């Protein structure tokens, strides 16, 4: 919970409790709801399963707490020196730090191995972050080389003249502390002063799971803690794989009664359950935690005679992961078929598309004055094109045709693309749509050039 000028501000939304008016957005960090999952959804008979909804934090994730707790003690000095805030993060920590840095007039730089979720990358740029991607491994490897990207990163931090506030989330005890004094005690309070029998969380920096586990064990040392990581070749944005977790300074195997791997498919399946059946718009790691919890607890449930409770953490929201999910589950995005799409032409139709060779096309342009439509990108068109042609990029053309014929039937049309393949498709489509005189330039602009026909630049 946030401490503001000595006054405790509780945003106890679930119980309709205390103040929800704040002087700064940072006061809204923490005090997130704990929501019971309907047993009809998870099917556990003897276990009450609760979700700790960290997605309620103002910048969107569990990392708001860590970012604020790590940065806060150093912000005043950073403002004085005009330091740049830096962190190794490709996700939520970067998002929170970008906002916090911006609020204090500081620059923020996120350095990452692979910024693999495009929506998050764009959001960070929108928030004013600078992003640096570390180089890939050398192809002609020298095993004795010492210039691995992370070593270089740390070297830059200590270079003279550089003034950095490095929050160092993988090693910084303030990351754990945010949860030891915040998230953990909140759970105990919401469970009427008791710790749950089970606690389940994904492990990224291990900050949240370590801090929460410690707080819960202070109340009841018997709490069992399940840490979840991604299967080795899998990728679940926000948590580490089973090997990578050992590179984390905050990670102590003793914190967890078990570390288990979850696949990306399981994470998405769990996420869908939370999204569709529980009204919880969790992202993939929330789904991983739910799925990992149900998998583990399901095996025990039948043997239980007393009621038990379990809490898992929902770290962030689904919206940033649409691209990630679409790549793995295109079936979820099935769209209705479209009218006038080049995709539903038969091969026979495409083969029968009216076409014209370069020499005849040159003569036709001189006498028949067809509208010459160049389907290539604007950049390629700007560089070199057939004199007098119009540029309608293929993607735009496809959109245009959905609404019907964009040319008068009385106007002949010559379509040109790089090699005559796309133009043949569109010539077939326009023919099917009732255009009487459309032709595809055989061999495309490449053939045109190879024949020595003129190309111009305006």
Partner 1 sequence: MGEEPLYLEPRLEEPLRSLLESPGLLHTLTNALGSPLNVLLPDRIAANVERFRSVYRAHHLSGQVWFAHKASGSRALLRRLAATDAGVDVASLTELQHALGAGFTPDRIVATGPKNPPFLWLAARTSVTVAVDSRAELEHLVSLVRGHALSRARILLRLSGFESTGVRVLSRRSRFGSPVANVGPLLDEVERYGDAVELVGVAYHLDTTGLDEKAVALEGCLRVLEECRGRGLRPAAVDVGGGFGVSYVDEREQWERYTTALTDAVLGTRPPLTWGGHGYGLRNEGGTLRGTLGLYPAHRPVAGAGYLDELLSRPAASFGGRPLAALLLEHLYDLHAEPGRALVDQCGVTVAKVLEVRADDAGAQLLVRLAAKADDVALEDHGVLVDPVVVPRDPAGGRAGDGPVAVHLAGSLCLETDLITRRTVFLPRRPEPGDLLAFANTAGYCMDFRATRAQQQPAARKVAAWQEGGSWQWCLDDEYWPTVPVGGTQ
Ligand X SMILES: Cc1ncc(COP(=O)(O)O)c(C=O)c1O
By DSSP bridging, strand 7-8 and strand 3-4 are antiparallel
91-99, 110-118, 273-281, 372-380 -> range binding ligand X (CB under 6 A): 91-99
Position among 30, 33, 60, 91 found at the interface with ligand X (CB under 6 A)? 91
Binding partner of residue 227 among partner 1, ligand X, none, CB cut-off 5 to 8 Å per kind: none
Cβ–Cβ < 8 Å for 270, 298? no
If you search the block for the tokens 């979840």, which residue do you land on?
228
Q: Is 95 in the site for partner 1 (CB under 8 A)?
A: no
Q: Applying CB under 6 A, does 285 fall inside the site for ligand X?
A: yes
Q: What tokens were used for 398?
A: 């496809």
CB 194 within 8 A of CB 200: no
Q: Could you tell me which stretch among 55-63, 115-123, 350-358, 425-433 binds ligand X (CB under 6 A)?
A: 55-63
| Per-residue x/- track, 95-134, ligand X (CB under 6 A) | ----------------------------------------
Q: How far is the CB of 368 from ligand X (least distance, A)?
A: 49
- In the sheet that holds 34-36, the strands lie side by side as 34-36, 47-53, 308-314, 198-202, 224-230, 258-262
Work out whether 103 is an interface residue with partner 1 (CB under 8 A).
no
| Of 139 and 306, CB closest to partner 1 | 139
First and final C-alpha spacing in the chain:
63
Binds ligand X (CB under 6 A): choice among 33, 60, 182, 202: 202
DSSP conformation letters of 45-108: SSEEEEEEEGGGSTTSSTHHHHHHHHHHHHHHHHHHHTPEEEEE-SSHHHHHHHHHHHHTT-EE
- Name which of partner 1, ligand X, none residue 275 binds, using a CB cut-off of 5 to 8 Å depending on partner kind: none
Helix axes 394-402, 421-432, angle to 10 degrees: 10
Q: Which is nearer to ligand X, 113 or 377 (CB)?
A: 113
Q: Is 184 in the site for ligand X (CB under 6 A)?
A: no
389 is a site residue for ligand X (CB under 6 A)? no
Cα–Cα dist 61/285, whole Å = 11
Q: Is 149 in the site for partner 1 (CB under 8 A)?
A: yes
- Binders in 247-276 for partner 1, by CB under 8 A: 247-249, 251-252
Q: Which of 7, 21, 246, 335 binds partner 1 (CB under 8 A)?
A: 246
Q: Which of 35, 377, 437, 453 binds partner 1 (CB under 8 A)?
A: 377
The neighbour count for residue 101, using CB atoms within 10 Å, is 26
Nearer to partner 1, 58 or 342 (CB): 342
Closest CA to 281 of 233, 226, 320: 320
Q: Is 423 in the site for ligand X (CB under 6 A)?
A: no
Helices (H), 134-196: 149-158, 173-178, 184-190
Decide: 130 and 108 in contact? Cβ < 8 Å. Answer: yes
Q: Is 127 in the site for partner 1 (CB under 8 A)?
A: no
Q: Which two tokens stand for residue 411?
A: 């106007």
Rg (Cα) of the chain, in Å, rounded? 29
Q: Which of 204, 194, 218, 332 is nearest to 268 (CA)?
A: 332
Count interface residues toward ligand X (CB under 6 A).
Answer: 22
Binding marks (x or -) toward ligand X, 347..366, rule CB under 6 A?
Answer: --------------------
Asked if 445 and 416 touch (Cβ cutoff 8 Å), the reply is yes
Least Å distance between CB 343 and ligand X? 36
Per DSSP, 317 falls in state B
Residue 245-264 contact track with ligand X, rule CB under 6 A, x = bound: --------------------
What is the contact surface with partner 1 in residues (CB under 8 A)?
114-115, 121, 125, 130-145, 147-151, 232-233, 242-243, 246-249, 251-252, 376-380, 383-384, 393, 418-419, 421, 445-446, 449, 457
What is the contact surface with ligand X in residues (CB under 6 A)?
61-63, 91-93, 139-140, 202-209, 238-239, 283, 285, 315-316
């Amino acid at each position: 919970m946030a401490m503001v000028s000595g006054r405790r501000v509780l945003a106890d939304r679930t119980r309709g409790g205390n103040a929800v008016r704040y002087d700064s957005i940072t006061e809204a960090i923490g005090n997130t709801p704990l929501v019971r999952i309907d047993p009809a959804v998870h099917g556990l008979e003897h276990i009450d399963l609760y979700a700790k909804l960290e997605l309620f934090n103002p910048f969107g994730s569990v990392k708001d707490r860590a970012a604020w707790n790590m940065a806060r003690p150093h912000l005043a000095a950073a403002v004085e020196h005009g330091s740049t805030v830096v962190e190794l993060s490709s996700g939520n920590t970067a998002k929170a730090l970008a906002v916090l840095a911006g609020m204090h007039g500081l620059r923020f730089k996120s350095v990452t191995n692979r910024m693999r979720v495009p929506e998050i990358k764009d959001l960070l740029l929108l928030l004013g972050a600078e992003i640096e991607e570390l180089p890939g491994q050398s192809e002609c490897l020298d095993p004795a080389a010492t210039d691995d990207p992370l070593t270089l990163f740390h070297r830059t931090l200590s270079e003279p003249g550089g003034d950095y506030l490095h929050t160092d989330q993988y090693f910084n005890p303030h990351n754990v502390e945010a949860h030891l004094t915040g998230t953990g005690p909140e759970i105990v309070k919401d469970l009427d002063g008791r710790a749950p029998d089970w606690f389940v969380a994904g492990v990224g920096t291990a900050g949240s799971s370590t801090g929460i586990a410690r707080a819960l064990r202070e109340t009841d040392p018997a709490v069992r803690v399940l840490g979840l990581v991604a299967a080795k070749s899998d990728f679940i944005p926000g948590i580490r794989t089973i090997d990578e977790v050992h590179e984390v300074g905050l990670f102590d195997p003793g914190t967890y009664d078990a570390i288990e791997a979850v696949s990306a498919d399981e994470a998405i399946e769990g996420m869908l359950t939370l999204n569709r059946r529980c009204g919880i718009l969790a992202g993939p790691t929330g789904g991983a935690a739910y799925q990992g919890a149900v998998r583990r607890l399901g095996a025990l449930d039948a043997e239980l005679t007393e009621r038990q409770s379990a809490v898992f953490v929902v770290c962030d929201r689904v919206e940033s992961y649409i691209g990630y999910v679409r790549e793995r589950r295109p079936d979820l995005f099935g769209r209705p078929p479209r009218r006038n799409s080049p995709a539903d032409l038969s091969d026979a139709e495409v083969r029968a598309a009216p076409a014209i060779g370069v020499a005849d096309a040159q003569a036709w342009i001189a006498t028949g004055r067809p509208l010459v439509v160049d389907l290539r990108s604007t950049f390629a068109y700007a560089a070199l094109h057939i004199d007098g042609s119009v540029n309608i990029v293929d993607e735009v053309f496809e959109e245009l045709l959905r609404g019907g014929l964009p040319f008068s039937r009385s106007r002949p049309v010559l379509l040109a693309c790089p090699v005559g393949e796309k133009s043949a498709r569109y010539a077939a489509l326009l023919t099917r749509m009732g255009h009487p005189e459309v032709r595809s330039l055989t061999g495309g602009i490449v053939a045109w050039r190879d024949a020595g026909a003129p190309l111009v630049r305006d």
